[in-house]
């Protein structure tokens, strides 16, 4: 399938391929939909098996960002960038600065922040070349790490899912299997333990898992064996695609709710979870506090109080999805997609009809 066919399949407006001859920097910026506003999304730094795999990741992630923003009150659309990790001695800081120049060329149509493989500190390097970057290290005047607010949103979302399944949002005494104990997963584990939950963690980094286990007094399981741990909630907070046709039959939980992006391997997995009686909290909804931390605080200047209110919005959005899914007998992932698409379509219509757009605005 060609690039334009892939764009049509996912509904994308624009894909920008970036290459710098001097540094060897290779990146892909995918802009999915700007009906809600200019595209925003993180920059992922990762080694891909092929350029096709990198493109597919950028397309899927940017589409998820559109849907994520559809469940917020921020006038922003979906975008994502993948910066291809280079073998050898390539200086990451040089690659980031080179990438920042391409972001600047888009003149605000796309703006970015941290993602897998990048951090608030590294956003400083991009910021040398463009103003369209957020979640910059606080030591350089930015808003800093977005993971605390994201983890709080996921924690609140878990409560909403527990309420749907058990009739109470209280996590005390509930068993939660946390996959990935890094930024979001580690902070989520802290919140769960503080609230009285029984946490079983797993991470591909044994040292990190051991450190958190000692600090929080939680059990640690082998990453692969975690799928079969009896629990109330299985919480993916690492890489995507982990909830799939191979792992779903192994799950021994009632709820899947975590902060990772693109948790489902494909669209059919939402139906597979429903058939097993497992409630799924759609990833781009439960982790939607992240844009508030990045875009709300950095670009829109939201106050700490305003950001705190956004966390409660995660629970309200999930409750809407759960009610509609229950009433229609549909997978929650499918219902969330429909709601997001309805909101994007409504925004596109309003934009087309609103005065002061297009040529009138440019004049």
C-alpha torsion sign, points 282, 286, 287, 291: positive
* pLDDT at residue 357, as a whole number: 41
Structure tokens at 171: 């996590």
Domain match, 93 and 151 both: no
Q: Is residue 362 part of a domain?
A: no
Domain match, 163 and 291 both: yes
Domain match, 154 and 242 both: yes
The pLDDT profile of the chain, 363 residues, written as one tens digit per residue, is: 789 999 999 899 999 999 999 999 999 999 999 999 999 999 999 999 999 999 999 999 999 999 999 998 888 999 999 999 977 667 899 999 999 999 999 999 999 988 888 988 899 999 999 999 987 776 766 666 678 888 999 999 999 999 999 999 999 999 999 999 988 999 999 999 999 999 999 999 999 999 999 999 999 999 999 999 999 999 999 888 999 999 999 999 999 999 998 899 999 999 999 999 999 999 999 998 877 767 766 676 766 777 777 778 899 999 999 999 999 999 999 999 999 999 999 888 777 655 544 433 333
Q: Report the candidate in 222, 215, 224, 163 with the shortest Cα–Cα distance to residue 186.
A: 215
Q: Which residue has the tokens 């795999």?
A: 53
Q: How far is CA 120 from the centre of its chain?
A: 16
Please state, in angstroms and rounded to a whole number, the distance separating the CA atoms of residues 221 and 69: 34
Please state, in angstroms and rounded to a whole number, the distance separating the CA atoms of residues 329 and 159: 22
CATH of the domain at 104: 3.40.50.10860
CATH of the domain at 168: 3.40.50.720
Q: Note whether 76 and 345 are within 8 A (CB).
A: no
Please state, in angstroms and rounded to a whole number, the distance separating the CA atoms of residues 249 and 269: 11
* pLDDT at residue 74, as a whole number: 85
Q: Is residue 346 part of a domain?
A: no
If DSSP states are collapsed to H, E and C, what string results for 165-221?
HHCCCCCCCCEEEEECCCHHHHHHHHHHHHCCCEEEEECCCHHHHHHHHHHHCCEEC
Alpha-helical (H) ranges within the chain are 3-10, 51-70, 92-105, 120-127, 147-166, 183-194, 206-216, 268-275, 283-286, 289-291, 297-298, 304-328, 332-353, 358-362
How many Å is the Cα radius of gyration of the chain? 20
Q: Is residue 324 part of a domain?
A: yes
Domain match, 166 and 310 both: yes
13 lies in which domain range? 3-68+76-133
Domain match, 270 and 164 both: yes
Domain match, 158 and 277 both: yes
Q: Is residue 141 part of a domain?
A: no
Q: Note whether 101 and 129 are within 8 A (CB).
A: yes
Would you name the residues annotated as active-site residues? 80
Domain match, 7 and 127 both: yes
Domain match, 163 and 307 both: yes
Number of independent structural domains in the chain: 2
Q: Is residue 298 part of a domain?
A: yes
The DSSP string of 236-251 is: E-SSS--BSTTTGGG-
* pLDDT at residue 99, as a whole number: 97
Domain match, 96 and 173 both: no
Domain match, 237 and 259 both: yes
Domain match, 85 and 55 both: yes
Q: Report the candidate in 308, 264, 259, 267 with the shortest Cα–Cα distance to residue 288.
A: 259
Backbone angles phi and psi of 333, in degrees to 5: -65, -40
Strand ordering across the sheet containing 175-179: 219-220, 198-202, 175-179, 233-236, 255-256, 279-280
Q: Note whether 256 and 263 are within 8 A (CB).
A: yes
pTM for this model (two decimals): 0.87
Give the strand pairing for 110-111 and 255-256.
Answer: unpaired
Domain match, 178 and 293 both: yes
Q: Is residue 355 part of a domain?
A: no
Q: Is residue 348 part of a domain?
A: no
Tally Cβ neighbours within 10 Å of residue 125: 20
Please state, in angstroms and rounded to a whole number, the distance separating the CA atoms of residues 8 and 58: 14
Q: Is residue 310 part of a domain?
A: yes
């Amino acid at each position: 399938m060609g690039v334009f066919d892939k764009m049509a399949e996912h509904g994308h407006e624009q894909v920008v391929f970036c290459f710098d001859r001097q540094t060897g920097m290779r990146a892909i910026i995918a802009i999915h939909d700007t009906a809600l506003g200019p595209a925003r999304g993180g920059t992922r730094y990762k080694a891909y098996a092929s350029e096709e795999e990198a493109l597919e990741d950028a397309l899927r992630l940017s589409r998820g960002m559109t849907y994520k923003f559809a469940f917020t009150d921020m006038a922003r659309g979906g975008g994502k960038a993948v910066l291809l990790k280079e073998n050898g001695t390539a200086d990451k800081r040089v690659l980031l600065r080179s990438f920042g120049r391409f972001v600047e060329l888009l003149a605000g149509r796309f703006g970015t922040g941290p993602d897998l493989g990048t951090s608030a500190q590294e956003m400083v390097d991009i910021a040398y070349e463009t103003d369209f970057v957020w979640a910059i290290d606080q030591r350089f005047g930015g808003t800093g790490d977005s993971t605390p607010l994201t983890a709080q949103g996921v924690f609140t979302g878990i409560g909403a899912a527990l309420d749907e399944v058990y009739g109470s949002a209280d996590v005390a005494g509930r068993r939660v299997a946390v996959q990935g104990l890094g930024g979001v997963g580690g902070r989520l584990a802290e919140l769960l333990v503080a609230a009285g939950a029984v946490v079983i963690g797993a991470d591909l980094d044994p040292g990190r898992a051991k450190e958190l286990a000692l600090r929080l007094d939680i059990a640690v399981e082998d990453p692969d064996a975690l799928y079969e741990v009896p629990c109330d909630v299985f919480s993916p907070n690492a890489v995507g695609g982990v909830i799939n046709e191979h792992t779903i039959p192994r799950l021994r939980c009632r709820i899947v709710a975590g902060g990772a992006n693109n948790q489902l391997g494909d669209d059919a997995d939402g139906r597979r979870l429903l058939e097993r009686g497992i409630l799924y909290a759609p990833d781009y909804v439960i982790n939607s506090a992240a844009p508030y931390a990045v875009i709300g605080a950095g670009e829109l200047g939201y106050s700490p109080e305003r950001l705190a209110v956004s966390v409660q919005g995660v629970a309200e959005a999930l409750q809407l999805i759960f009610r509609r899914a229950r009433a229609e007998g549909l997978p929650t992932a499918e219902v969330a997609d429909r709601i997001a698409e309805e909101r994007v379509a409504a925004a596109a219509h309003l934009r087309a009809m609103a005065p002061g757009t297009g040529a009138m605005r440019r004049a």
